[in-house]
Structure 1
Amino acid sequence: MFEGHNPYLVVLSVVMAILGGYTGFGLASRVRSTSGIGRRVLLAGAATFVALGIWTMHFVGTLAGPVPSDAVYLILPTLGSFLICTLVVGVSLFLVSVGEPSDARVTAAALFMGAGIVSMHYVGVNAFAGGFRVEHERAMVVLSALIAVGTAYGGLRVFLARQGGTRLALSAIAFGFAVSGMHYTATYGMRFRSAPDFFPPADGLIASSQVLALVLVLLCFLITGGFLLSLVPEPRQRAAEAAAGAIGGYLVVDKGAAESAADEANPAEAGEDRPAETDEAPPAAVFRVPVESANGTQFIDVAEIRAVRADAHYTLVHDGSRERMCLWAISKAEAQLDPALFFRVHRSHIVSLPHVTLIRKEGDGAVVELDGPASPVVPVSRAKIAELKARLGVAGRKARAS
């Protein structure tokens, strides 16, 4: 059964799963920093694109295999497989995008996502109709389900470690292999047996392979378009990039040029994250920082904080494992955190000096790596390098060595 697959369609099916996963996970990563109706729209869009990736992968993979020539597709089970998948995957993304993603919630999310992948596959298989019946090897059914759940769990773990950049791509690749591995493992254990009495009912809604192929072409364009749109930077990011170079995958910004470009693009927000000059005494340093969750406001001990990153009017606080949203602006975070322990290395980034494990030159600027399971990496603007090295006790090291 597994022999005779069209290799080009097999590759296309895997690519569609990865692109759908990347787009869906990218939307899900923005849920935490969004409120109101926008959060619901993002979550619905994320579930839809992930489900589209699963559904399109399955039926492209089906067309890639040696399906009987008289096979047609019952429309209602075919649509039902997509709706079931969207609902189950939506629950999975809700569990990791809203509230505190504990180990139990991540495990439950992986189970739901794996169930969505498996249910989509077997409901979709039941949409086959023709002069045959489909038989499944139980061992392959169990193995395919384990592959779906296991790789979905790994993909979600990577996604939660850092919701952007390389980690987002890795989680999408893991998701693509979860879907593809489940499908082709299950297909290996599937057999078509001749059964002339199994023709579809005359009054049933059916679609031929040609009609299905046309639908899949349109969906491939939709998924690819969504993926390309997800790569378009937001306005403030474009303004900063106009005055900066993207170095090693991290944005290293010339402070003056970046601030001018960003303020010109967003005059209403100009200077919002710059400390204003004042004669008032600075506020006392806080010991805990508030972060938002589905259950309310939680507090992180400052000793656990590795970095703080500006996100529009708010910030994202990294505890070494993942980022969580804080309602403070970057300027307020800088004012509240102990300056003996925290240093603003970039217009949009603050780092905890005790957690810095590495600093290295990157183009005209630098990056620092912080300790923790996720080993977050933060860009350092060119104007801040010397001061940061002095704070870390490495200023003038080359001069002393010579």
Structure 2
Amino acid sequence: MFAGHDPILIALSVVIAILGGYTGFGLAARVRSTGIAGRRMFLACAAFFLAVGVWTMHFVAMLAAPIPLHATYLVLPTVVSFLICALVMGISLFFVSLGEPSHMRLVVSALLLGLGIASMHYVGIHGLSGSFHIEHQRRMIMASVAIAVGAAYGGLRIFVDRHGGMRLALSATAFGIAVSGMHFTAMHGMRFVPETPFDHAASGLAVSREALALIVSPLCFLIVFGFLLLLVPEPVSRALNSAPAGQADTDAIYAQAAALDGSTPDSAAAQMEQGRLRHRIEGGPSGVAAVTRVPVEGADGTRFVEIGQIRSIKANAHYTLVHDGRRERMCPWAISQAEARLDRATFMRVHRSHIVSLPLVSLIRKEGDGAVVELDGEVPHLVPVSRAKIAELRARLGLVKRGV
């Protein structure tokens, strides 16, 4: 498949696809925490970076391919291939961002996006002009379309599940490799059949490989710039700046407690200070009563999840991820804020980064120095338990033994 290809450009094309996927889906994931105007901007930027990433990967890989000498690229099909990619990216992201997307809507969006990526590839391929014509193997066309649809489904699942951090990086890597695999699968089933210049005359404005390289190079830098920009942490002080005066002290306490979550677990002073702050939150004059609902961010705004539906809460930077038995959704609260506001008779913090609903624990077992618990739901999931919390957790679950 790679005979005659430039290995450096092949590697660059795969990296570009991965960075484009990470940037695009990372931007799309931030839709949940913005207003209506911000959502439109993030969706547009996400579609743009995904389209640029996939399109640039395609043409970097074309520069790596051993195409006939003196071949040129027709401008119109090349531009149309990018517009197809940008259009289907935008439509697919918008389609799955409307409310809570069903599985069927996700599948339809992935099918549309996959067919769009494949169309972009073949339109771009037939923008090649020279004394040849191109033939394709039908089975390779079908295989490349299947890979494109699978990559699209995985990418949209990233967006729907609101992955972040390492999970987003791993998913974007899989997406980039899959999109690149689609391209090289299609190229493997393609061959150039020589013709005389009189049999195949170019029609329309065309550019050389060198000119295409000059166009693709700045796009590569643009994708890298967007990726690096996405790594900049989101501001977390906007809510504090606009909070009512009556909540300023409480919010400041939450901020201090959240900061102490980064302390060394064995730091007795840090643990005592956390306890003091939580006592101020729960029992002070402006104490916070246990809540019955938890806010979660969606593409259509802020929704509220009843505490009876919550299986676990996981720290995610300055925010948390709430698992409702099907998937994780972002909550604007920090982990300490969630712990302070939830009913401690029902919820327990079993790890510095995890809170679980005790009535929904269906399994507990030893794992390494700590333990893990399984939470019931349509999609059961495991949560780690730190060694220091095992005895307390077992006691609260009604287990008399101290070991696991």
Task: Please tell me the TM-score bracket, short chain as reference.
Answer: 0.7 to 0.9
Distance 1:172 1:328, change over 3 A: closer
Q: Report the Cα offset of residue 301 of structure 1.
A: 4.5
Provide Cα deviations, 1:213-241, integer angstroms capped at 9, x if missing partner: 2222222222222222322334559x978
1:172 correspondence with 2:167 = no
Identify the residue that residue 40 of structure 1 maps to in structure 2. 40
Q: Look up the match of 2:89.
A: 89
Percentage of matched positions with identical amino acids: 57
Counterpart position of 1:340: 345
Deviation at 1:351, TM superposition (A): 3.1
Give the letter aligned to residue 201 of structure 2: F
Aligned: 1:149 with 2:180: no
Structure 1 SS opposite 2:31? coil
CA distance in 2, matches of 1:278, 1:79: 63
Matched position secondary structure for 1:175: helix
Task: Name the SS for the 1:92 alignment partner.
Answer: helix
Match in the other structure for 1:268: none
- In structure 1, which of residues 195, 200, 203 is the aligned counterpart of residue 202 of structure 2? 200
**2:106 is the counterpart of 1:100:** no
**Alignment-derived partner of residue 327 in structure 2:** 322
Q: What's 2:252 paired with?
A: none
Does 2:309 match 1:304?
yes
Distance 1:73 1:152 in 2: 27
Name the amino acid aligned to 1:321.
Answer: R
Q: Which runs of 5+ in 2 are unaligned?
A: 238-255
- What is the CA–CA distance in structure 2 between the aligned matches of 1:276 and 1:169, rounded to whole Å? 38
Partner Cα separation in structure 2 for residue 14 and residue 127 of structure 1: 22
Aligned to 1:266: none
Partner amino acid, structure 1, of 2:281: P
C-alpha RMSD of matched pairs (Å): 4.3
8 A contact 2:350–2:385 mirrored in 1: yes
1:337 shift after superposition: 4.0
User: Paired residue for 1:59?
Assistant: 59
Determine the C-alpha separation between the residues in 1 that align with 2:73 and 2:135.
Answer: 17
Q: CA deviation at 1:48?
A: 1.3
Q: State the alpha-carbon separation in 2 of the partners of residues 245 and 362 from structure 1.
A: 22
In structure 2, the residue matched to 1:20 is 20
What is the match of residue 262 of structure 2?
244
Match of 2:220 in 1: 220
State the distance in 1 between where 2:158 and 2:3 align: 33
Q: Show the counterpart of 2:5.
A: 5
**Correspondence for 2:281:** 275
Moved more, 346-355 or 45-54: 346-355
Contact 2:321 2:329 survives alignment (8 Å): yes
Q: Is the CA contact 2:321–2:331 (under 8 Å) kept in the aligned structure 1? A: yes
Match of 1:264 in 2: none
My pick for the range that moved more, 6-15 or 324-333, is 324-333
Name the TM-score, length of structure 1 as normaliser. 0.76
The yes-or-no answer on 1:114 pairing with 2:114 is yes
Cα distance, 1:59 vs structure 2: 0.7
Q: Could you say which residue in structure 1 is the equivalent of 2:242?
A: none
Give the residue type in structure 1 aligned to 2:42: L
Aligned counterparts of 2:189 and 2:182: Cα–Cα separation in 1: 11
Which stretch of the first structure deviates more once superposed, 371-380 or 55-64? 371-380
- Describe the superposition over 1:258-299 as per-residue Cα deviations: whole angstroms up to 9, x where unpaired: 9x9xxxxxxxxxx99x8364468975763x656565677766
Query: Does the 8 A contact of 2:282 with 2:289 survive in 1?
Result: no
Are the aligned partners of 1:306 and 1:370 in contact in 2 as well (CA < 8 Å)? Answer: no
Give 1:12's aligned amino acid: L
Give the direction of change, closer, same or farther, for the CA distance of 1:305–1:37 in structure 2 (3 Å limit).
same
Alpha carbons 2:335, 2:353 under 8 Å: kept: yes
Q: Does the 8 Å CA contact 1:4/1:65 hold for their aligned counterparts?
A: yes
User: CA 1:76–1:374 in 2, change beyond 3 Å: closer, same or farther?
Assistant: farther
Post-superposition shift, 1:118? 0.6
Matching residue of 1:375? 381
Partner of 2:126: 126
Tell me the equivalent position of 2:243: none
The farther-off stretch of 311-320 and 112-121 is 311-320
Q: Tell me, yes or no, if the aligned pair for 2:318 and 2:334 is still in contact at 8 Å.
A: yes
Moved more, 62-71 or 87-96: 87-96
CA contact (8 A) 1:345 1:388 kept: yes
CA contact (8 A) 2:75 2:206 kept: yes
CA contact (8 A) 1:255 1:347 kept: no
Secondary structure class of the residue paired with 1:109: helix
Distance 2:399 2:385 in 1: 18
Counterpart of 1:179, as a letter, is V
> For the structure 1 residues 255 and 314, does the alpha-carbon distance in structure 2 shift closer, same or farther, using more than 3 Å as the test?
farther
Using the size of structure 2 for normalisation, the TM-score is 0.75
Give the residue type in structure 1 aligned to 2:190: M
- Say if 1:24 and 1:47, in contact at 8 Å, map to a contact too: yes
The superposition leaves residues 85-116 of structure 1 with CA deviations (integer Å, 9 ceiling, x where unpaired) of 01101222223344212111210221122022
Query: Structure 1 280/151 Cα, relative in aligned 2: closer, same or farther at 3 Å?
Result: closer
Which amino acid counterpart does residue 262 of structure 2 have in structure 1? A
Task: Please list every run of 5 or more consecutive structure 1 residues that lacks an aligned counterpart in the other structure.
Answer: 247-251, 261-270
Range 323-332 or range 122-131, more displaced? 323-332
Name the aligned partner's letter for residue 220 of structure 1.
C
Structure 1 CA distance, aligned partners of 2:380 and 2:218?
38
Larger deviation: 68-77 or 367-376? Answer: 367-376
Contact 2:27 2:43 in 1 (8 A): yes
Deviation digits for residues 323-345 of structure 1 (CA, Å, limit 9, x no counterpart): 33567787886576433111356
Count of residue pairs brought into register by the alignment: 378
DSSP-derived class of the 1:29 partner: helix
1:361-372 correspondence runs (5 A):
371=375
SS in 2 for 1:244: coil
Quote how far apart the aligned CAs of 1:349 are. 6.0
User: Which amino acid is 2:329 matched to?
Assistant: R
- Aligned to 1:135, the other structure's residue is in SS state strand
Where 2:343 maps in the other structure, the secondary structure is coil
